[in-house]
Amino acid sequence: MPSGILWVASRVKQPGLTPEKFCSWYENVHIHEVTALSGAPRAAHYEGIKPSPFPGTLSSGTSWLTVYEMPDMNFRETKEFRSLDGQSEPEKELLEGVFKQARFDTRFYECIHVHEKEGGAAKDPGSLIISGALTPAEGTDADFDDWYREEHLPLIEKVPGYRRARRFKVVNATVLDEFKRLEPQIPTWLVLYEFDGKELPAADLKRANETEWSKKIIEGLQMAEPGFYRLKRMYDTEKEGNL
């Protein structure tokens, strides 16, 4: 019963759907429908930081990111989950008014490593998040893992505001682009860094990547999709109401 997340990056594609209308449906209807399911009790909804602290990032073009917690990844195969709008075809008004005018990048990730700041576990997410999807150089997965555990995350832990980092491996991914389902090539690994505060400490983060080991890993990457987001809303059915 592996645990993991459902990671969904979304954006409006057509002028017939305004960001305000999209957010009203997504935040007040859709996420509630997902978290009402038995296998996805919590979610954190983020908005891309603009301007991005680093150029050419995923969050520059993908406006929102939602991370759903899945205590059992096998839930994604159930009839209950597959009946959800987007997994199955929604009613015509929703299909034409939202799904055919937006893009949803949907990925399921299994959790492989949690690195928390000394002092205790963090259940609630930080106010800022970095989503880093990466594929290392071929044949270097072991070195990639050692770099995270032995050097990179201990350095990131010293960055002001750091709360925790969680690492994942992709299980499967699809794109629903104007309700056309695509099978994209995506990075193999994901790390979510969480921070408290109002702004990401960009200079400190950059310095953490300037070691010789970091340069070797970064220069050898086959794919990289970094994104920078600010927490917009939390959802938790285990608490009274949604936050």
Position 168 scores a pLDDT of 98
Number of neighbours of residue 219 by Cβ within 10 angstroms: 8
Q: In the predicted model, is pLDDT for residue 122 greater than 90?
A: no
Cβ–Cβ under 8 Å, residues 130 and 231: no
Please tell me what DSSP assigns to residue 30. Answer: I
Where are the alpha helices (H) located in the chain, listed in sequence order?
A: 19-25, 31-35, 58-61, 79-82, 92-97, 141-147, 153-156, 202-208, 212-219
Query: Which string of b and e fits 159-183 if b means at least 16 CB within 10 Å?
Result: bebbbbbbbbebeebbbbbebeeee
Sign, CA dihedral 54-156-43-114, equals positive
Average pLDDT over residues 20-44: 95
Residue 65's Cβ-count burial label (10 Å; 0-12, 13-18, 19+) is buried
Q: How confident is the model at residue 124 (pLDDT cuts 50, 70, 90)?
A: confident
- Terminal CA-to-CA distance of the chain, rounded, Å? 28
Task: Give the DSSP letter string of 104-122.
Answer: EEEEEEEEEEEEE-TT---
Residues in CB range of 114: below 8 A, 6 or more apart = 164, 165, 166, 167
Q: Does the 4-236 domain belong in CATH 3.30.70.100?
A: yes
pLDDT at 141: 96
Q: Is the pLDDT assigned to residue 241 strictly greater than 70? A: no
**67 phi-psi bin (left φ>0, alpha ψ -120 to 50, beta other):** beta
pLDDT at residue 240 in the model: 43
Average pLDDT, the chain: 91
The model's pTM is 0.92
* 3 state SS of 209: coil
